[in-house]
Amino acid sequence: MFMLNPNPDYRKPLDPADAETLSVAEAREVERFLGFRQGHKPTPLVSLPALARELRVGAIRIKDEGHRLGLRSFKALGGSYAVIRLVLEEAGKQLGRKVDISEVQSPEVKAVAEKITVSCATDGNHGRSVAQGAQLVGANCAIFVHSGVSDERIAAIASFGAKMIRVEGNYDDSVAEATRTAEANGWTTVSDTSWPGYERVPSLVMQGYTALMSEALREMPEPPTHAFVQAGVGGIAAAVAGHFSVLYGDKRPFLTVVDPARAACLFESAKAGRAVKVEHGEATVMAMLECYEPSLVAWRILSRAADAFMTVDEEDAISVMNRLARPTGGDPAVVAGESGGVGLAALIKVAKDEKLRAAAGLTETSRIFLINTEGATDPALYEKLVGISPDQLAA
């Protein structure tokens, strides 16, 4: 399903707080923070010219976040950044002065961090990022996972020293339990979704994502005309849409938000004209996008700055994993996890349907920006779905 944004807020200016969060100045600060991260380097921006010819567009460029900071996901930019920011702010309060990222390994900051416990609920990738951030600064960490999170993803989070807490039910159930437990224990919740009264930390998480935009835009000869960005609660899609709005105003790229058909909380919110919670049904293979209620901050941005909303089916996500693993026409291979290639899956559906092409304004000169939001974060499942291990494909 494909729908142009019908909301009355569409194309209105961003809320000033959101514009500040996703501003150029803050994006530069995020990159400065990354400069202090061991092993940090920009992720590849991959061009797919053969696929562009097949889909009758001018260019397709995909930012490959499967290489990000050892976590194989764009989430490495968000949760860990928020944890570091929060610890430095608390250190500043206790020390009575501004504390810079350059001091993050100092004994004074470590002494503050070791008394802090950060926590969150996760499908996998955000929890790994929060746990990694906690390990970097020396804070304690508790991560809540629902019953659908695989043992392999749980082990990957636990490897950063996090205490793992299982919750019966789905992602939204784990969010509720994580919030309740954190309040009872005085822990700091570092969530990538927001709700009434809880906006600043999720905004910091989204702010962390702007680094991938800064990197990508520096490499492009011209800005994109279109972007297709997948969404769970909406954080990455809102970060892209909001940053584009700040940079380009009314001349920003046409942005389509993409949901799994089985967890289409943003599509249904767009249809309803307000943030809505959708019913939990059959699980989707797009596990990192299996969210049933949008982040309120993300929805506030997307209701104004997204141009269209659409859904993709299970077979679309699996097909694009295989397509990226076995490209034609000399295009490079890309390792994309179950949720990683969903933006490309949406582009393919739109590009091959003349009515949808017209609705989205796709032409033979369109320049498409996509994000491979995750690599093979569950290698065993990747091999099952693609028929080759991610290590073999990378080699």
For 46-87, write each residue's pLDDT tens digit.
Answer: 999 999 999 999 999 999 999 999 999 999 999 999 999 999
As a whole number, mean pLDDT of residues 140-158 equals 93
Residue 30 in tokens: 């995020």
What is the distance between the alpha carbons of residues 224 and 237, in angstroms, rounded to a whole number?
15
What is the distance between the alpha carbons of residues 320 and 348, in angstroms, rounded to a whole number?
9
> Token match 């600060």: residue?
29
Give CA separation, 49 vs 55, 56, 246, 367, in Å.
Answer: 10, 10, 29, 11
Q: What is the pLDDT of residue 23?
A: 98
Q: What is the pLDDT of residue 171?
A: 82
Helix (H) or strand (E) holding 391, with range, is helix 390-394
Q: What amino acid is encoded at 372 in this protein?
A: N
Q: What is the pLDDT of residues 85-109, one digit of tens each?
A: 999 999 999 999 999 999 999 999 9
Q: pLDDT-based confidence at 183, cuts 50/70/90?
A: very high
As a whole number, mean pLDDT of residues 217-234 equals 97
What is the distance between the alpha carbons of residues 316 and 26, in angstroms, rounded to a whole number?
36
Model confidence at 395: pLDDT above 90? no
Q: Which of 312, 309, 315 is nearest to 294 (CA)?
A: 309
- Using a pLDDT cut of 90, give the percent of the chain over it: 94
Model confidence at 280: pLDDT above 90? no
Buried b (16+ CB within 10 A) or exposed e, 364-378: eebbbbbbbbbbbbb
Q: Which of 68, 66, 49, 122 is nearest to 341 (CA)?
A: 66
Strand arrangement of the beta sheet that strand 188-189 belongs to = 163-167, 140-146, 117-122, 188-189
Q: What is the pLDDT of residue 325?
A: 98
Q: pLDDT-based confidence at 21, cuts 50/70/90?
A: very high
- Using a pLDDT cut of 70, give the percent of the chain over it: 100
Q: pLDDT-based confidence at 123, cuts 50/70/90?
A: confident
Total-model pTM:
0.95
As a whole number, mean pLDDT of residues 285-302 equals 95
Contacts of 146 (CB under 8 A, 6+ apart): 121, 123, 166, 167, 168, 169, 170, 171, 173, 174
Q: So which residues are the catalytic ones? A: 75, 123
Model confidence at 172: pLDDT above 90? no
What is the distance between the alpha carbons of residues 170 and 147, in angstroms, rounded to a whole number?
7
